[in-house]
Structure 1
Amino acid sequence: MAIGFDEGFQLYSQGMLLRSKRAEVIASNIANADTPGYKAKGLDFKQALANATNSQQSGMTRTNEKHFDIRTELNNTVDYRIPNQADTGDGNTVDVQVERNLYLKNSMEYQASVQFLTGKIQAMKKVISGGQ
């Protein structure tokens, strides 16, 4: 009997990939906080994960470099964020405090995903080894 690890871990790996991409977007916002005219961007994690789940359920897997890849589909979920503050005069919409909080929250969620995945792997190892 073969164990399908791809099916068991694919959603977790996609979630971690999305959180990594979200960290890049937030870091880019922080880096451009003083750039005149820069518009803050955001990644809607729930929408991106829903897109990844739908592509997983459709049975599409990338077996050839010409096939669709979830990493290219992530770019469609990055969009401009609606600013929380009034325009400061230079056209920049980055609120550094908000971005730092979002970055911290995202990193905590990423770490939680890592710990959850580690627990799943340890449980599978225990089952395979017979509980020893």
Structure 2
Amino acid sequence: MPSLDQIFALNGGALQLRAQRLNMLASNIANASTPGYKAQDLDFDRAMQQAQNGGSLEQAMTVHTGYRVPLQPSLDGNTVELSVEQTLFAENAIQYRTTLSFMQDQVSSMRRALKGE
């Protein structure tokens, strides 16, 4: 029988990576008018793949974090494109919520099984 760590490792890791990405995207949005600010993002898919292959989440976050290349560079050196960041933030927030709901369903199923329902 798998341990609770094994059962929740995949989705728990996904939540941590999604939360980190939400923080990055929020920082990008908050600094949309800061001259010279360079937008960062986390390649979630690659980071998650590395974590699943035995790498640590921290290492995966570090290795797969990079600077965004803007479609239209700003004259002040800021690489934040507000509409892009807002769209990515909304998409990532929905994916975070979906993963959280899946984990809640897993816990509910385990509770019902323990109660013999």
TM-score (norm. length: structure 1): 0.82
Gaps of 5+ in 1: 57-68
Aligned-partner Cα distance in 2 for 1:89–1:111 = 36
Map of 1:31 onto structure 2: 30
Aligned-partner Cα distance in 1 for 2:108–2:43 = 31
Map of 2:21 onto structure 1: 22
Which amino acid letter does the alignment assign opposite residue 29 of structure 1? N
Instruction: Show the 5 A alignment for 1:1-132.
Output: 4-55=3-54, 69-85=56-72, 87-131=73-117
Larger radius of gyration, structure 1 or 2? 1
Aligned-partner Cα distance in 1 for 2:82–2:75 = 16
Q: How many residues align?
A: 117
The more displaced of 46-55 and 73-82 is: 73-82
Query: Which consecutive segments of 4 or more residues in structure 1 shift more than 2 A?
Result: 69-73
Percent identity over the alignment? Answer: 36
TM-score (norm. length: structure 2): 0.92
